[in-house]
Amino acid sequence: MVRASGVIDEKWYLEEYPDVALLGMDPVEHYLWIGQRLNRRPSPNKVAASNAAPVPGAVVPGEKSLATPHDFVAASPFFDRAWYAEKYKDHLKEGEEPVSHYLRFGSHLGYDPGPGFSTARYLDIYRDVKAAKVNPLFHYEKYGKKEGRSPRPTPRHAKAGMMRFTPPEGGEPNKVLAFDAPPQRVAGIEDERICLHLHLFFVDMARDIAGYLANIRHPFQLLVSVQEDQDPKFWEAFFSAHVPAAENVVVRAFPNRGRDVAPWVVGFTDHIRNSTIFAHIHTKRSNHNRSHAGWFRFLSHSMLGSYSIVDSILEMFCSDKALGLVGPCYHWTLADQPNYGKNISSIHELYRRLGSQSQLPDSCPDYPAGSFFWSRTSILERLFDIGLTWEDFPEENGLVDGTHAHGVERLMGILPSLSGKTYKMVTVDVPYDLTRYIHDRRSRLSPALIRKASIQKPIGGSRGKKIALYSCVSGGYEKMIPLIRSSEGIDCFLFSDSDNVEAPEGYKTVKCQYISDIPVRTARFVKTHPHLYFAEYDYAIWCDSNVHFLGDIYRYIDELEMSGSDCSFILHPLRDNFVEEAEELIGKGRLPDISVAERQIETYLEMGEALLKSRLLETNFFICKPGEPRVARFMGAWWAEINKYTHRDQLSVNCALRQSGVKVTPLISDGRSARDHDDFMIFSHSVQDRKFALDFFGSAYHA
């Protein structure tokens, strides 16, 4: 409603307030949640919210005489001043008011305002609140309790026996699929006719999609819908060349209506009706919310992530004739699913048109959120028979909910029962963002990882430059492996606190000049002093001792040089800033002295909002120019922070960046890390025998 009113000039708003783009938020959503409380203008011709009539649907400052977050928190029955002052007495300055401390520091550190409200759980379960950067108790009092949210929601628990990097997926899976299992024979698959529909809206994702489709080993028909400005013949040739099992590729151009749903419900029913097993995927991007950035990979991984995943799903259909639909569990950001949401009127209409004699369930059944699924085609017949047309789906106009496209998405959870079939949810033992993380429960690796291994030629002139690769192993707890697949033209150094360290062939060993009684701190000293050790080198590459680099390092160096920056780091794929990093470390007991980290975070918060908005970096692999004075200042500041506070160097790296003015560019694409990027492999420190993985990936390059 607000977007349609035209009150907010979205392009101008993003240019005027660049932090909105940094947060990855939709400008209209940001204005409604945050902007008006900051007295920001919705357009160049409008005055700030404090001096203007509210836009339609906006929160009115002064509502119920509570104008600010401080007012709401102070008036909340969940804020117990005496309890807070006693519990956090070591962190409140003399005379400091508890409500102010909670708003400025406490909520960022996961402190509870009282025994009845959980700050950490509220932000973990209600990810929209965390993404909007709103104080959790303020949100609960102003919005949450009216929306039926809990002040102490049930904590998330990882599925038994499964490792997760992001919070665990929602829903209860009926089956856990094995990512690394070898391909299996699917009894009875020769009697099935498989058909898969791909809605290719974002054509730049075609190569990624083709990689997933190549995990289908059994003959199938591929249906591809594209926009009207695309050439169907080009895409027919592309997918025929890149998807071996696709016996027939049919590409059709359709109008931009009904998102990914109308193209298969309206545009391809003639082909789908001739199949017995049908699957649907699309190029899901979810740009409106950065926390959804991994949703596409989560869905693709769950439905098509490896040979064994696809084989297991097909085996479920072949062995269970009562099975109607298979879908993934809910992505971790969808804490409130399943629900009908704003789509209830559409679902009621569609349900009525299906001709069902039963009543629509009061509660929304589980459904494949995100619209990636495998189904038995017979359950779709009733949907096809109601005769939906293109006119039943409005033209796309931004982020719209409540359409028939969203209605069909939820109706998929109901269709199996209308045909006497069942719906089963699945998850995968190895998550999409840990496919290249080798822990002690992975004794073999999926062939899908070999096919994705990348070799790229350098794009500039870095060959011939003087390059040092360095790492440190201290405390004698780890057996070293080569840190990089190809070290041609690179000097490799291994620092250690021991004279007896076994270095890989071709590596020069160096005795650490600084040795701490805490071995990790010794390694941190080496990491932060490339300007001391490699001042005569053009580039220095730090690699944690449990990381193995598989790609072409010269390409990364060329990209750093072309960017005009001093260093390249991996952006943290999950956590936004140092506060979230501290919450994670404290919550999982990874800090030897929590009080030191809390003082560190309070100090950083006092430095201002700019540091809080500085995007968190990962520090297990980076490239720098050690002879650049800014790099020397940065490394010196970084070591000073590590030496002053905790050795967890990710907490202090952003502070050092701001103090030094060093220029940084992302090393790899946002949302990826060494745990899942094609050019990396990372080992758990507990894995001592790493040869099987090195041999496995080595075969990819020799093939």
Distance between CA atoms of 91 and 104, rounded to whole angstroms? 12
**Which structure tokens are listed for 34?**
């945050």
Distance between CA atoms of 61 and 66, rounded to whole angstroms? 8
Using DSSP bridges, classify how beta strands 680-683 and 547-549 pair: parallel, antiparallel or unpaired: antiparallel
CA nearest neighbour of 125 among 278, 409, 321, 337: 337
Instruction: Give the sheet arrangement for strand 194-199, strand by strand.
Output: 175-177, 422-428, 323-328, 373-376, 277-282, 194-199, 220-227, 246-254
Distance between CA atoms of 332 and 389, rounded to whole angstroms? 34
Mean pLDDT of 402-425: 92
> pLDDT value at position 202?
94
* Residue 400 and residue 2 in contact, taking contact as beta carbons nearer than 8 Å: no
> pLDDT value at position 22?
57
Least confident of 73-77, 341-345, 413-417: 341-345
**Which structure tokens are listed for 558?**
């060329």
Mean pLDDT of 88-93: 86
> pLDDT value at position 356?
76
Distance between CA atoms of 689 and 691, rounded to whole angstroms? 6
pLDDT classification of 240: cutoffs 50, 70, 90? very high
Distance between CA atoms of 218 and 250, rounded to whole angstroms? 17
DSSP secondary structure string, 618-661? Answer: EEEEEEE-TTSHHHHHHHHHHHHHHHHS-S-TTTTHHHHHHHHT
Torsion, Cα of 461, 669, 301, 484 (10° steps): 40
Using DSSP bridges, classify how beta strands 664-666 and 680-683 pair: parallel, antiparallel or unpaired: unpaired
Distance between CA atoms of 284 and 24, rounded to whole angstroms? 16
pLDDT classification of 204: cutoffs 50, 70, 90? very high
CA nearest neighbour of 429 among 215, 177, 675, 184: 177
Least confident of 366-380, 423-437, 472-486: 472-486
CA 388, distance to chain mean position in Å, is 35
- Tell me the percentage of the chain whose pLDDT exceeds 70: 90
CA nearest neighbour of 391 among 402, 380, 403: 403
> pLDDT value at position 15?
80
> pLDDT value at position 63?
45
Neighbours of 344 (CB within 10 A): 15
Q: Using N-to-C axis directions, what is the helix angle for 307-319 and 295-304, rounded to 10°? A: 60
Backbone phi and psi for residue 593, each to the nearest 5 degrees, phi listed first: -135, 100
For residue range 432-487, list pLDDT tens digits in order.
999 999 998 888 899 888 755 444 444 456 677 999 999 999 887 677 888 998 88
> pLDDT value at position 598?
85
| Residue 474 per-residue DSSP state | -
pLDDT classification of 55: cutoffs 50, 70, 90? very low
Has residue 53 got a pLDDT over 50?
Answer: no
For residue range 651-682, list pLDDT tens digits in order.
999 999 999 999 999 999 988 999 999 999 99
Three-state DSSP at 78 gives: coil
Most confident of 132-136, 326-330, 611-615: 326-330
* Residue 695 and residue 652 in contact, taking contact as beta carbons nearer than 8 Å: no
For residue range 589-615, list pLDDT tens digits in order.
777 778 888 889 989 988 988 898 899
* Residue 474 and residue 519 in contact, taking contact as beta carbons nearer than 8 Å: yes
**Which structure tokens are listed for 8?**
């907010």
Distance between CA atoms of 382 and 421, rounded to whole angstroms? 13
Distance between CA atoms of 431 and 163, rounded to whole angstroms? 8
Distance between CA atoms of 507 and 487, rounded to whole angstroms? 10
Residue 624's DSSP bridge partners are 540, 567
* Residue 575 and residue 616 in contact, taking contact as beta carbons nearer than 8 Å: yes
**Which structure tokens are listed for 441?**
């429960």
For the chain, give the mean pLDDT. 88
Has residue 290 got a pLDDT over 70?
Answer: no
| Residue 161 per-residue DSSP state | T
Long-range (24+ apart) CB contacts under 8 A made by 233-236 are 235/200, 235/206
416-444 burial code (b ≥16 CB/10 A, e <16): bbbbebebbbbbbbbbbbbbbbbeeebee
The dihedral sign for the CA sequence 342, 345, 349, 351: positive
Mean pLDDT of 552-557: 92
- pTM (two decimals): 0.82
* Residue 546 and residue 478 in contact, taking contact as beta carbons nearer than 8 Å: yes
> What are the structural domains, with CATH classification, of the chain?
1-20+27-61 (no CATH), 64-155 (no CATH), 175-432 (3.90.550), 463-702 (3.90.550.10)
DSSP secondary structure string, 363-421? Answer: SPPP--TTS-EEEEGGGGHHHHHT---GGGSPBP-SS--SSHHHHHHHHTTTHHHHTT-
Residue 128's DSSP bridge partners are none
Instruction: Give the sheet arrangement for strand 490-496, strand by strand.
Output: 508-511, 490-496, 467-473, 539-543, 617-624, 567-571, 664-666
Has residue 383 got a pLDDT over 90?
Answer: yes
Helix (H) or strand (E) holding 313: helix 307-319
DSSP secondary structure string, 204-259? Answer: GGHHHHHHHHTT--S-EEEEEEEETTS-HHHHHHHHHHH-TTEEEEEEEEE-SBST
